[in-house]
Amino acid sequence: MTQPIDTSIYAAVTAAIQGEAKRILSEGQVTAIVGYAAARRKGSAQPIVISQPDDAQKLIFTPACVNNLAVYLTKAKKEIPKTGKIGIVVKGCDLKALAGLMGESQLKRENLYLIGVPCAGVLGSTIQPDTELTSDSIAPKCTECNERMPPECDFVPAVQVPVNQGLEKKYAAEIARLEALTPQERWAYWKEQFSKCIKCYACRQVCPFCFCEQCLCDRNKPQMVETTPRPAGNFAWHIVRAMHLAGRCAGCAECERVCPMDIPLNLLNRKMAKELKELFEHEAGFEVQEKGPLNSFTDKDDQSFIK
Amino acid sequence: MQNYISQQNFNALLDSLISQGKRVVAPRTNAGTVLYEPLANAADMVIDQLPRRSGKEAFFPLCEDIMTYQKEGQKIELQDIDPTRFLETVLVGVRPCDAAAIPVLDAVFSWDYKDEFFLERRKKTTIIGLACTQADDACFCTAVGLTPADPKGADLFLTPLEGGGYACETQSEKGEALVANNKELFAEPNGYKPLPLAEPQTGKFDLKKVKAWLDEHFEDPAWDSIATRCVGCGACAFVCPACHCFDIVDEGTEKQGKRRKNWDACGFWKFTHHASGHNPRDQQPKRYRNRIMHKFKYYDDKFGQTLCTGCGRCIRLCPVGIDIADILQDIDKIEVKVKVEENS
Ligand code: SF4
Ligand code: SF4
Ligand code: SF4
Ligand code: SF4
């Protein structure tokens, strides 16, 4: 049954973000703020970078504020100047990406001013942004989220976040369904999904962790994997993506949201996260960790495969 | 010539074409996403949604082999692909914004180099267009000189009627042949009322004014404010019915392989990356500028046409909400301002 989601706090959240943004820009505490602004289409929102106190009134927070803005702070986004301290509007799920980037020495906490968002959830798709937030239209990640109040930010609007209303955990349910299939059936499922991939790399371009100077899949001297959107090249891309994000992806699910072909990419990320938790007791979260399980070795690691 | 066809007879027409060995490409669901794909049964057709990707791929596929090679010792064998083997195709349920893009693409694919793959498929394809009865606030066909009932590009054009079925109007010899060969399925159009047409909810802009501004503003701070947030993917170009850039790659082993033609996108950093390492479009706003310039200036300069049909796909699917209709409306306004200043 479709349940409505209460987003009445967003008006107060918007007002508080605007006030804080104006204050820190006028006091010169930050040089710029990355946030969300309303856009032309009804109900839509878009990322915006502001540097003038008067522009603070453009900032909003609504169910259409889906982007993980952390991507703009990475070295892959050369267009956003990284001078001085930068303010950024973050949801709990986005903050985990920032923690990951700090762990990988991509960002320094002291160069950021974190404006945390008390969050009741966002839309799973913004193809039609003028959509009411319900248990059906909410992003699957939000059905499993327990971090609606981002911790250790420089500023968080003082509002009471509604508790997660016991929504069905969409990824857990789907992973359980896929795990129950035979390997042949699972292969068929992913083969069908990947057959739709057009190699637009939107999934990679929005990912805060895809900051490689040159992606392996873009190499052509020599070519490392097939670049063509055909079965072999598509599988290669999706395996590279899943493996390189294992233990790093904290689940903002931007890849899945932006995929124009509706490929459920975050299912792979969640499954990898589940495996890493079982194998290495590792979880990507708010804590800044220097080394993930796939780029470190400890004598506690399972060595039973060495025969 | 105008005719009537019921939904049932329309499906019968498609099924009969399929049984004759024709490739019938129409919107259908593939793993949850509506795409133009070959049908096995007319019943699989999903006619009430704009497919996620455009109709161009019936002529210009996402990926195609253009040559194969084989090497044994010193012997190298190259083999061309034979386009005459392409199947006779009927492309069905094509919305005005998709159908109109196809004649626009003819210009570039038959310009100095005749693209035999595109042109052969074009020759062998009959296009059945369909008027739109639904639009959203990303649609803007009416702002680029089309309408939700524009038959441009279609060989046979269908208008949905109240109570089901379609009024069909032939637009070319191909369309006439299709009707003549299946006369028994069509009837007189008496007494039917078309469903109300879609009303795109996007404001208009003047394409001439937009072009006049683009002519003078290759360098302009507006490009930064428009596209600093662009993340440089291929989503906008790949879903666009009019974008047509491609990349040629050789894939295979040293012994055998294929030369392939794949869609490319000006949003990618690699698009203009030179072998020397230099990239003239070194930042995202310069890449996005090319998207707008190519559509509303260069293509017009070269072929007198606009490379956008207002389908709105790039607006709906841009990960960061870059809205081409909004940009064009803003440019339209800037020009007005310039004029006022000049007059005062
Ligand atoms: S996952 Fe949590 S923090 Fe992130 S958008 Fe959903 S509810 Fe908000
Ligand atoms: S966004 Fe989707 S279609 Fe594009 S490369 Fe990623 S998986 Fe493929
Ligand atoms: S530029 Fe955008 S709106 Fe215009 S035809 Fe291409 S996808 Fe459609
Ligand atoms: S405009 Fe949007 S869809 Fe196009 S390349 Fe930029 S981010 Fe991708």
Domain boundaries, given as residue ranges, for chain B? 2-185, 207-343
Mean pLDDT of chain A: 92
| CB-ligand 2 contact for A200 (6 Å cutoff) | yes
Residue-range definition of the domain harbouring residue A49: 10-144
Give dist(CA A231, CA A105) in Å, integer. 35
For ligand 1, atom 7, name the residue with the nearest CA.
Answer: A121
Amino acid identity, position B17: L
Name which of A103-107, A292-296, B74-78, B283-287 the model is least confident about.
A292-296
Residue A290 has pLDDT above 80, yes or no: no
Banded pLDDT at B202 (limits 50, 70, 90): confident
Residue of A nearest to B234 (CA): A200
pLDDT attached to residue B336:
59
Alpha carbon distance B26, B123 (integer Å): 18
Helices (H), A126-216: 140-143, 170-179, 183-194, 202-205
pLDDT digits (tens, 9 = 90+) for B294-338: 999 999 999 999 999 999 999 999 999 999 999 999 999 885 555
Percentage of chain A lying above the pLDDT 70 cut: 100
Residue B242 has pLDDT above 60, yes or no: yes
Distance CA A49, CA A87 (A): 9
A225 part of a folded domain? yes
Percent of chain B having pLDDT more than 70?
A: 97
> What pLDDT sits at residue B339?
54
CB contact under 8 A, B263 and A198: yes
Across the strands, what pairs with B38? B25
Please give the distance, rounded to the nearest whole angstrom, from the Cα atom of residue B35 to the centre of ligand 3. 17
Residue B54 touches chain A, beta carbons under 8 Å: no
Mean pLDDT for the stretch of residues A245-264: 94
Note whether B251 contacts A226, CB cutoff 8 Å.
yes
Q: How confident is the model over A190-232, as pLDDT tens digits?
A: 999 999 999 999 999 999 999 988 888 888 878 888 888 988 8
Confidence (pTM)? 0.94
- Closest CA of chain A from B82, distance in Å: 21
Looking at the fold, whether A132 and A16 belong to one and the same domain comes out as yes
Alpha-carbon distance of B14 to B43, in angstroms, equals 9
> Lowest mean pLDDT: which of A165-169, B17-21, B24-28, B149-153?
A165-169
The residue of B54, B134, B229 whose CB has the most chain A CBs within 10 angstroms, and thus the best one to mutate to test that interface, is B229
Q: For residue A77, is pLDDT > 50?
A: yes
- pLDDT, tens digit, for every residue of A155-187? 999 999 887 778 899 999 999 999 999 999 999
Contact B229 A195 (CB under 8 A): no
Average pLDDT, chain B: 94
Task: Report which protein residue has its CA nearest ligand 3's atom 2.
Answer: B314
Mean pLDDT to the nearest integer, B127-132: 98
Mark whether A264 and A181 lie in a shared domain. Answer: yes
- pLDDT for the residue B338: 54
Please give the order of strands across the beta sheet that includes B63-72: B75-80, B63-72, B256-263, B246-252
- What pLDDT does residue B2 have? 79
A297 pLDDT above the threshold of 90 = no
pLDDT of residue A11: 97
Q: Pick the residue with more confidence: B51 or A84?
A: B51
Residue B202 CA: which ligand is closest? 3
Chain B contact present for A218, CB below 8 A: yes
Task: Check residues A57 and A295 and name the one with the higher pLDDT.
Answer: A57
Can you give the pLDDT at residue B343? 46
Among protein residues, the one whose CA lies closest to atom 7 of ligand 2: A197
Residue whose tokens read 């070319």: B172
Give me the pLDDT at residue B315, please.
Answer: 98
Q: What is the mean pLDDT of residues B135-155?
A: 96
Query: Do residues A121 and A211 share a domain?
Result: no
Determine contact, residues B324/B314, Cβ cutoff 8 Å: yes
Query: Does residue A131 sit in the same domain as residue A175?
Result: no
A306 found inside a domain: no
- Over the range A208-229, which residues count as b (16 or more CB within 10 Å of their CB) and which as e? bbbbeeebebbeeeeeebbbbb
Residue A286's pLDDT band, with cuts at 50, 70 and 90, is confident
pLDDT of residue B189: 77
Cβ–Cβ gap A47/B321 under 8 Å: yes
Are residues A101 and A221 located together in one domain of the fold?
Answer: no
Q: What's the number of domains chain A is made of?
A: 2
Q: Do A138 and A17 share a domain, yes or no?
A: yes
Return the C-alpha torsion angle A219, A222, A228, A231, nearest 10: -110
Cβ of A198 within 8 Å of Cβ of B234? The answer is yes
Measured by CA distance, the residue closest to atom 6 of ligand 4 is B230
A136 and A174, same domain (yes or no): no
* B60 Cα to chain A: minimum distance (Å): 14
Range with the largest mean pLDDT of A225-234, B5-14, B252-261: B5-14
Residues A5-15: pLDDT tens digits?
Answer: 999 999 999 99
In a domain, A163, yes or no: no
pLDDT-derived band at A306, boundaries 50, 70, 90: confident
The reported pLDDT for the residue numbered A220 is 80
The ligand whose atoms approach the alpha carbon of B54 most closely is: 3
> How confident is the model at residue B337, as a pLDDT?
57
Q: Contact A202/B326, CB-based, under 8 Å?
A: no
Q: Is pLDDT above 70 for B341?
A: no
Residues A209 and B84: their CA atoms lie apart, in Å, by 46
Average pLDDT score over residue span B145-165? 96
- Omega before residue A4 within 30° of 0, cis: no
Domain end position, chosen among A94, A110, A144: A144
Instruction: Give yes or no for residue B100 having a pLDDT over 90.
Output: yes
Question: Is pLDDT at B344 greater than 50 in this prediction?
Answer: no
A86-90, B271-275, B307-311: which range is least confident on average? B271-275
Nearest-by-Cβ selection for B317 from A41, A45, A127 = A127
